[in-house]
Structure 1
Amino acid sequence: MHKNSLFRNNNLPKRSCKRLMASNPILQIEDLSITLAKQRQQYPIVQSLSFTINEGQTLAIIGESGSGKSVSAHAILRLLPCPPFSVSGQVNFQGHNLLTASRSIQKKIIGTEISMIFQNPQASLNPVFTIEQQFREIIHTHLALTAEVAKEKMLYALEETGFHDPRLCLNLYPHQLSGGMLQRICIAMALLCSPKLLIADEPTTALDVSVQYQILQLLKTLQKKTGMSLLIITHNMGVVAETADDVLVLYAGRMVECAPAVQMFHNPSHPYTRDLLASRPSLQPQQLGSFNPIPGQPPHYTAFPSGCRYHPRCSKILNRCSAEAPEIYPVREGHKVRCWLYDD
């Protein structure tokens, strides 16, 4: 695949639409709501978000900045400070609701069975410690290993993520490595405990296009090798096309569409999803560089509009859209949309 296909290239996902006939859910989110207390006001950041990730599959959550993607991922791992945030609903991981589980259960799961890599690898690593020291901190926290076994595990993790001289890498400081190398190190650290679920929050945003492709290929290879599930947080439809089995579209804190990736690209149902796909730069010779930007701006969480939150920007607006929040309607098997256009 040419590196530029991370942008617009025929609107087609690269993964096959292989569906597991007897899928086993590994993560089930039910009615997840996140509220921010600020200046004596309560602001709904995310409202009634529900989705399921099956074993070995990849779900991509996509939306513009401020849609609630990253804050939802942080809520799953209990990373949001309380106060000012409050979280309700259920985050069920293999029979445990992480929002109400004991600290011992949370410690057993978070960082071990569920790991996360963050958007900015430079900010994820401590600049005053070597790579080896930071590996050892993770091992000390989550794994009971001897120093010798721990060293072997570090070297193996670095080899698996593409380092040809892992011993040299362990002696370096973060500032001595490129952004792509730092992201590989973060992936290696996240996989130390052999997680069943890896959450990747904008894993390629801070990288140039050619390195983006390498990181995505690495994640796919590691997923195939280990059988882990992936939750990808992104604003880039190219990343979705390259990685996802299923796609969930967020807008202003609400799910507006969820579908298998192939259906999402071939038959998007929500006006926002259609506009999002149309807004990508074209690589077709006759339309090179052209794109159709979505009019207006996403609403701020302090001033979400009434009714459908997309109605101020929507070209398909109905009379009821500005007054009534739409329900979720099934479009076809595995495909649902929150839009009044589908109210029969």
Structure 2
Amino acid sequence: LFQSFQLYKVYTSHLQKLLIRVYQNLQILFVELALILEEKREQRGSVDFDIPELKVFVDEKCKPYKVEKIERGRGERLIESFMIETNEAIARYITNMNLPFIYRVHDKPEVKKIKEFTNILRNTKYKFYVKNIKSKDIQTLVNSFSEEDNYLNKQVLRLMSKAVYDNYNIGHFGLASKCYTHFTAPIRRYPDLVVHRLVRRYLFDSNYKTNSEYTKKLKEIALHSSTTERNADSLEYAVLDLKLAEYMEKYVGKVLEGKITSILSFGMFVSVLEGIEGLVHINNLPGFRFEEQRKLLVSYNKTYKIGDKVKVIVLSANKEKGKIDFEIVK
């Protein structure tokens, strides 16, 4: 019995070492493959904004005590590459079968938004205007931004259309993909679950029977999913605004350095600290008027534009409304 136990220990030790080597070799291959997939998407014009998200840390009483920018790591990018490739493979396969399906589609930016964005860029060193816009045009522009000017990524993101679900495929502009769907997250996204059911129906059950009612049902599911997604996103942004405002309560009365990220008719938004935005209302900018075409705030001796560095004092932070108000320090 003792000898058997010793042999078992030796066997499991060797097996463990073997599995570690296999895992390490696979890890190297996964990284190489992810880089190949990234390069393929880069070549076709896929746009990667890589805008860090804000994460609010709260204590046991749900009171925020820290805000950090969350950057995508190598691991996240690796998983993302495989997910995108899987989504495309599924979409291509079912599309080639010419069967009803649910796609994740992303249309080109509207001409009006392109013109507005072009006017904003007139205040910078960057130039951009194309008549028949392609994903590669956006990619080239985003890749040209210096680190200091990466605030323009948000402006480009606002230029883009909203991705939605549809039973009619128009491709995905942002990914420069002719055919795309959501397949990889059926436990948290209903469209993915529907896509799994369609794959099972078509590929495993060999059930290709469809009619106009079936197609209509998929269209309704796609529309409903797009609507609920927008609602969920709005709720998420609202909760984030509430917690950011609550976090900024301790900064009321303090002077902070920031950068103008957006200019509208009612004032300008300034980003401070880790990217927390507050409003300098037009009422607190006496003598200034809004120049809509170029998105400027202009007075007789001063002009504010997107990207300008400014000093602001935190006037108020309303956690009930999720609003933060600043005033320019002269």
Shorter-chain TM-score above 0.5: no
TM-score normalised to structure 1 length: 0.30
**RCO higher in 1 or 2 (8 Å CA, sep ≥ 6)?**
1
TM-score normalised to structure 2 length: 0.31
Q: Which protein shows a greater Rg? A: 2
